[in-house]
């Protein structure tokens, strides 16, 4: 990475961390908060009695090639019902908060890094939550950040600060996928059944966390730059209809 670009990103990272408390306070009436909850184990199955559609009519799904936060902001701009009801997936580090994104000498861009550059997410990822088991016992765990403020544009637009009227508050679900899992020879499937079972448990946790906290709109990630995370499609029920949009 060219030195000027690296220094620019280092500056943005420092400023984002420094300004996050003030940004949270500024948007507290919209639900912004630096608080979060650690979910240490799989949540109970959703109660089918609470399902508004017991016949399982598929919810609307849209697949887009876009930044996750840009997708969330667009969703909330186009659909008034989405405001206050959006949860999005953060493909998180299981080792330390955001993988110490602001300390990387190369500042490589992963999905979690992109989220931290543009929002107050990093302040909600507490050191006490880490490390989290990546696979095996205890790996179906995550962090729920209910009030993250998106106050910068995406990296492609130099993370310019958004006008107040364009900022949005969303909930973020941070869960780590199996890291560097062994694949079959064709590269299309996980080689170990245990890795597949762990992955499915993590996906269930994401859906259950969203439903548990009453979120009706989901932004899910299907690709993560810089990390060999494998996420597979899964079918899950929710306590209410959800509109799902997938961002990179």
The tens place of each residue's pLDDT in the chain, 248 residues long, gives 566 777 888 888 899 999 999 999 999 999 999 999 999 999 999 887 777 666 767 777 888 888 899 999 999 999 999 999 999 999 999 999 988 776 654 545 788 988 999 999 999 999 999 999 999 999 999 999 999 999 999 988 889 999 999 999 999 999 998 888 888 888 778 888 998 899 999 999 999 999 999 998 999 876 544 334 344 333 333 333 333 333 43
Question: Quick one: DSSP state of residue 240?
Answer: S
What span, in angstroms and rounded, lies between the C-alpha atoms of 150 and 88?
12
- Total domain count, the chain: 1
What span, in angstroms and rounded, lies between the C-alpha atoms of 207 and 191?
25
Residues comprising the chain, all counted: 248
What span, in angstroms and rounded, lies between the C-alpha atoms of 37 and 52?
27
Measured CA distances, 120 to 10, 24, 176, 207, 234 (Å) = 16, 7, 19, 23, 29
What span, in angstroms and rounded, lies between the C-alpha atoms of 130 and 30?
29
- What does 3-70 look like in DSSP terms, one character per residue? HHHHHHHHHHHHHHHHHHHHHHHHTGGGT--S--EEE-SPPPPPPGGG-S-TT-PPPPEEE--S-HHH
Q: Tell me, rounded to whole angstroms, the distance of Cα 212 from its chain centroid.
A: 16
Residue 100 has a CB neighbour count (10 Å cut-off) of: 11
Helix ranges, the chain (H): 3-26, 68-78, 111-118, 193-212
Nearest to 51 by CA among 59, 43, 39: 59
Query: Tokens 């929002």 identify what position?
Result: 119
**pLDDT score for 189:** 80
The domain spanning residue 97 has which CATH number? 3.40.220.10
With residues binned 3-state (H G I as helix, E B as strand, rest as coil), the percentages for the chain, rounded to 5, are: 35, 20, 45
What span, in angstroms and rounded, lies between the C-alpha atoms of 170 and 187?
35
* Domain range enclosing 239: 3-247
Helix (H, G, I), strand (E, B) or coil at 79: coil
Residues 6+ apart with CB under 8 A from 7: none
**pLDDT score for 3:** 64
- Given phi > 0 = left and psi -120 to 50 = alpha, else beta, which region is 157? alpha
What span, in angstroms and rounded, lies between the C-alpha atoms of 99 and 111?
11
């Amino acid at each position: 990475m060219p030195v000027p670009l690296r220094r620019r990103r280092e500056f943005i990272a420092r400023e984002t961390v420094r300004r996050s408390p003030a940004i949270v306070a500024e948007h507290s009436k919209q639900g912004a908060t630096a608080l979060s909850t650690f979910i240490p184990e799989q949540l109970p199955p959703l109660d089918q009695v609470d399902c508004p559609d017991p016949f399982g009519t598929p919810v609307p799904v849209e697949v887009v090639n876009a930044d996750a936060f840009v997708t969330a902001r667009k969703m909330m701009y186009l659909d008034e019902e989405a405001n206050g009801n959006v949860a999005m997936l953060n493909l998180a580090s299981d080792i330390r908060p955001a993988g110490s994104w602001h300390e990387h000498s190369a500042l490589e861009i992963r999905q979690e890094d992109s989220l931290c550059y543009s929002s107050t997410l990093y302040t909600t990822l507490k050191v006490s939550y880490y490390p989290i088991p990546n696979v095996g016992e205890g790996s179906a765990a995550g962090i729920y950040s209910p009030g993250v403020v998106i106050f910068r544009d995406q990296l492609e637009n130099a993370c310019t600060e958004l006008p107040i009227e364009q900022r949005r508050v969303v909930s973020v679900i941070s869960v780590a996928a199996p890291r560097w899992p062994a694949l079959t020879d064709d590269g299309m499937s996980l080689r170990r059944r245990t890795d597949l079972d762990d992955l499915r448990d993590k996906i269930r946790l994401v859906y259950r966390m969203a439903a548990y906290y009453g979120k009706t709109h989901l932004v899910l990630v299907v690709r993560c730059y810089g990390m060999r995370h494998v996420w597979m499609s899964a079918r899950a029920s929710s306590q209410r209809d959800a509109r799902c949009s997938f961002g990179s």
